Structure 1
């Protein structure tokens, strides 16, 4: 009988240690730097640097990591879930002020933003000077060249089929380098064709808790294939378009419980590079 009690104590102790490790992992900060090569990137944008942050939820953005980036990145892209229901609005305000102090900010909604006081959330986002993209395009110019940034809004009513149409750029897709900022990469599974070069997304948290031998258990098959990291998606034969790049961030905050395992929190500094296959622009 004693050995059963000892065994139970060992399991309980191990569980407590693992839970503490998960909580600690949820509050760590990690800055991931990465080059992204795009064939159709204009020459003037070679070396363009983006601070990409998504799924902040309740967390405070780390000044010690982000303030040194002032003057060293060209834009800040925020991929949604900038807050959540019950999170203090002054935290969102401070996060937005910090982001706006680094470089021009472009943002989209996530599902948790709509569950909060969305009118107040939007006032804070726009009041910081950020450009909130709601199913719309924005032209980013540099040295006479331009890139189109499209912000895809998360459906206010939720659901897979409630997304609005992708806004037209007003220019031939073959001549336009386009980046799409969307909260949930599942949006991609509903598109027959995506006239863009790069998609930046979040939402998945990389599974948030990924256990050895078990992995993550997303119900939608899409997430089992596209969970976190960089992907290259082939185009239909004969399209003449280069492969579509997709980056899914593990995000900075956590959903539901402040726990992480096997999927560390991350912020990104992305440097756009012209691919060796780029044509002259």
Structure 2
């Protein structure tokens, strides 16, 4: 009887393990778009309703054309927040992904740490060849009816480390603090922790995968204390630029996975963001 009971217990444990494994893999390959409105005080009136497709941390995954093709003509810009690929991932998959997103809307890209671990020269050739704009610590002006929305792309340090970023690119136009609306696209939100000021209205980041695997009772396991709070979701970040205002910070859980293709408590996601002008 004891042996039968032990074998039954072992069987139950194995079954539970298989079920959990199936759920974790299923979560890793979910195709999910989070839609939300983001209200910005400095947004020019003509940009009210401006829509962004934001995707980060694709890694080895293939973007779902069936889900994204219907967005053609319905979003104004695509922003890719780094880790578009990784070492030993097929480059033709990156090429297919880039062809897809650039067919949807004008596309802007920043590097992530895994992009630099791949063959970066080929990665950049594919990105630029697709027609996307690779932002390496530079500003882009998006214009609509004479008004401007500024996009700043922060490049991930090629050699890694949170202190080896290049200087934050400044806007050159006069009275920039008073008359501009600015979005920052950066792969790793930890970059914020080393900035004396962040003159922006919206910051889009990824890298964290939302913890990727959040174990019951243990929660998120990160080396950096920063990520214990700033893991995934929407936050407020002090601008410290003399305005007394805060920037909105969105950290995406990302579409792909790092290391193993598993997720628990942090399902894959991408975002369609509609910018709205704050009502007076």
* TM norm structure 2: 0.96
**Partner of residue 249, structure 2:** 246
**Partner Cα distance (2:29, 2:239) in 1:** 38
Taking the aligned partners of 1:133 and 1:234, their CA distance within structure 2 comes to 24
* Structure-2 separation of matches of 1:44 and 1:143: 7
CA distance in 2, matches of 1:7, 1:158: 47
- Answering whether residue 210 of structure 2 is matched by residue 206 of structure 1, we say yes
Q: Map residues 1-281 of structure 1 onto 2, 5 A cutoff.
A: 1-2=2-3, 3-171=5-173, 172-236=176-240, 239-277=242-280
Unpaired stretches in structure 2, ≥5 consecutive residues: none
Q: Where has structure 1 moved over 6 Å in runs of 4 or more?
A: none
| Offset at residue 90 of structure 1 (A) | 0.4
Contact 1:51 1:270 in 2 (8 A): yes
Asked if structure 2 preserves the Cα contact closer than 8 Å seen for 1:174 and 1:241, the reply is no
1:239 CA displacement: 2.6
Cα distance, 1:25 vs. partner?
A: 1.1
RMSD: 1.2
**1:88-119 CA-partner distances (Å, limit 9, x unpaired):** 00000000000000000000000000000000
**SS state at 1:98 partner:** helix
Instruction: After superposition, give the CA deviation of every residue in 1:241-267 in whole Å (9 maximum; x if it has no partner).
Output: 432100000000000000011101111
Q: Which runs of 5+ in 1 are unaligned?
A: none
Aligned equivalents of 1:55, 1:102: Cα separation in 2: 19
The answer on whether the counterparts of 1:39 and 1:242 sit within 8 Å (CA) in structure 2 is: no
Decide which moves more: 13-22 or 62-71: 13-22
Distance, in Å, in 2 between the alignment partners of 1:265 and 1:126 is 26
Q: CA deviation at 1:235?
A: 4.5
Q: CA deviation at 1:212?
A: 2.2
Count of residue correspondences: 276
2-structure distance, mates of 1:38, 1:249: 19
Question: How far apart are the structure 2 equivalents of 1:103 and 1:198?
Answer: 20
Say whether the 8 Å CA contact 1:138–1:149 is kept in structure 2.
yes
Q: Distance in 1 between matches of 2:202 and 2:142?
A: 15
TM-score, with length taken from structure 1: 0.96
Q: CA deviation at 1:23?
A: 0.7
Question: Secondary structure at the residue paired with 2:60?
Answer: coil
CA distance in 1, matches of 2:191, 2:179: 24
In 2, Cα distance between the equivalents of 1:241 and 1:273? 21
